[in-house]
Structure 1
C-alpha cells in the first residue's frame, strides 16, 4: 500500500538554489512546494498542510530566523519541523538562536545531497507517524463516544423497566422501595437490601438509617429531591453513592415517582434503585485508556525526536543505521509491552530481543532470575541494552569469534543489579569523548530511573554495571568502585 505523500516547503530567494533542492529531493517521492520569500512561505502555510520546512537563513526582507519566529507564533505550526540552510559559518550563538526559534537542524552549504535527503526523509516519516497516531487517537475517541452513547441508550431502556417492580426484583442489581408519605412507613424488597449491603433481619428502614448509608457528599441532593415532591414534582431521577457497612462505595441511579390523592397531596412515593457501579468503572477505564494512549504517543514521539536530533555520524549510512537501530529497539520493547497490555516486561525477554539480530552461538552467557519491569523502566533499559550490544558488536568482545560476554543480574531490596562483562575481544582503552549512546545511557538510567551506570575499562574487556530501582524513586549519587566518566563506545587499543 502506497504511503500518502506529505508536503515539503522549500524557501529561498534564489531560483537556482530552489531548483537544486528540487533535484536533490525529487527521489523522496514527496510533494515539493516552492516559496521565493518569507511572506510567500507564510501564505503557503496558511493554505497548505506542511510536514517539513527547508528555509535559507539569509534572505532579504524576512530572514530565516524572523520567518521561524513568525511561524512558531501561530498555534497550528508550533510543531512543524524546520531545517535551516546556511551558506555562512554559523556560530554556536546563531545555532542556539535558531533552535530557540524552532529549528530542528542545520544544513551547511555546499549541501551534501545524501545528508539533506536523509534529514528530510526522517522528519517526513516522523510527521507521517504523528498523523497516524492522531488518527488512531480520533478513532479511539469515536469508540469511547460510541460506547458512551450505547451506555446512555442502555440507561434509557433501564429507566423504562424501572417503573415495573417485578422486573427490578428479577434483575439482581436492581431494587425497589415504597415510602408511605403519611405514616412514614418504608418497604424495601430483597434487591434494595442487597444493593445497600444490609439485611432485613438487622437493618431497620427509616430516614436516619438510610441517610447513614448515603455518601456524605450526596446527602444534600437527595434532601432536595424530597423537597421537590412537596413543591409539586411528580417524578425525580438522580445518581448518588452509598457507603456499605463494610466501607465499599457503590454508585446508584434512583428513580422515584409520587402518588397523590384527589386534592393533589402526596401520599406515597415509590422508586427503583439500580446499581451502576460497573458502568461507572467501565467509563473510568475508557477515560483512563484514552489519556494513557495520548500520553504514550507523546512520549514515543518525544523519544524518537531526541534520537533523531542527537544522533551524530560521519557518514549518511552510519547516521541512518544508528537512528534506525535505536528506534527499532524502542519498537521492540513497545511490542513486548503491548502483548502484556502495558503491565510490564520481563528482563530476559528484553535481552533475547536484542540478541535476535546476532548469531553468536556460545559467545554469550546469561544468568539471573525472572524480573518483571515497569513499562517506563523496560523502555529505558531496552535502549541502554541496545547501546551496549551495538557497541560490543562494533568494537568489543562481540566483534570477534574469540570474544565472550557474560550478563548476570540479581534483585535485592527492589534494586536490580545487572553486570555486563566482556572478555577475549580486542584490547580496550577508555575513550576520550562521550557519544550519544553514552549520554543517553547515563542520562536515562541515572536521571530517569534513579539508578547508576558504571564502567570499568579493563584491557581485556569492558566491565559495566547497571543499578536500577524496580520502583520509582529519586536518583541517589554516591561513589562507586567503577569509573563513570567513560563512554559506552569501546575503542581498540592501538599498538
Structure 2
C-alpha cells in the first residue's frame, strides 16, 4: 500500500444527519468514507472489504455499538481494527471499560469537535497504512529469501542431477569417449562407446576399417573429410551421424572431436566424445507430427469459428456480438480442457463444469454422472451443444429466474453416452412453432457429426433435452459443418428456441 493510497473509514450511525456531518468533517482527510445506517449494514460491508477505522455510534436500535464491536472482534480479520465510539450521552467509567473490553480504542463525546475527530481518525488511518506497508515489505522480503533459497537449492540440484545424468548416460550406453593415436593408428574406446555402437569389446577389433563399417554409408564421406581436415590444421569438429549396429538397429549420434598437436604443429592424437541422440531424434519426429496435428486442429477450429460467425443470426449488432462471443468462448473452454490432456480426450464432468461455470454461482444447477472420457471431436461438439442449452436457459428458461433449477445427469449404456438436461421452476414453457438456430445446431452436431440423437420435450414446467451420443464419433466434422450451414439458413423465430 503506497502513501497516497486511500483507506476505508467506516461510519456507522442510524441517523442520516449525523452520518452527513461526519462525512463533512472527515472529507478533507482524503480517505474513502463509507456510511452504514445500521450494525447489520456495517457487518455486510466489513465481510467484503478492508477497513482502517470504524467510527460507530454507541446508541443504535437493534444492534448497539457495544454489540456491534463484540461481533466485529470475533472475526479474525478485524481483531486489530481501530474502533472509535461516539456517544451523545455521558458515559460512566463502567461503560467506558465495557467499550474498551469490546475493542474500542477511543471515545468521542457529542457534540463532536471537528478538529479532534479528524486528528483521531488521521492517526489511526496512518497507523493502518504504515502497518500494511510493513506487512507488504515483510512479505516481499520473505519472498526474496524464499526465491534465493530456492535458486540455491535448484542450482545444487542441477549439479547433482547433471553428474547423475552423466553417470547414467555412460552406464546406459548414451555417452562414450574415444581416443585415436594419429601416428600409429591405435584406438581406445571406453565402455560407453562400445555400447553405443552395439559391439562386444571382447570380440570387436578396434581398427579404422572395422569402425568405418559401423557408420551409415551416407555419413561415411562427411566423416572422412573431417579426418582429412585435422591433417590440414583443423583442431576440432562436431557432427551428427548414424551408427549401424551389427544387429541391424540404426542409432543417431552426435560426435565431437579435438586434435592434439606436437611442438611442430603436427597432429599426434585425436580425442572425442559420442552421445546417442536417438531419443531426441524420435522426439523431434513426434514434435513434427504434433505440429502438423496442431495445424490440422487449428484449421478445423478456425473453420468452425468461421461457420459460427457466418451463420449466427440476431436482431441487432449487440445481440450478434454476444451470441458469437459466447459460442467462440465455449470452443475456447473445451480447447483448454483438451490441451491439458494433449488432445487425448476430455472428462465429461470437467467439460460440463466448464460450460455451466458462468451460471453456477446461484446454486441452481446440479450435475451427476459417472467418469466418462470423451474423444476430442465428441468433446467439442458436446461443449457447443451445452453452451446453446445453458445460454437459452439463462435467457428464457429455468436459469432466468432465481427459483429455477437445472439438473444435468449422464450415464453410459451399451457404449452410448446418455445426457439428460432437465429444467424446472422457471417460466412456463411453450413449444416453439419452428426450431431456432440453437436447436438446429444442437441437432445437426449431435446427430450428424456424432451419429447420436437429440430429443427435446417442451414441458410446461420446463424443457427436457436428452442427448444420446456414441462414445466413438461416426461422421467427420466437415459433414457436420455442412448440415449446420443448411440448418442455419432455415427461418428463425423470435420466441424461445434453443
Tell me the TM-score range normalised by the shorter chain.
0.3 to 0.5
Q: Which has the larger radius of gyration?
A: 2
If the length of structure 2 is used for normalisation, what is the TM-score? 0.47
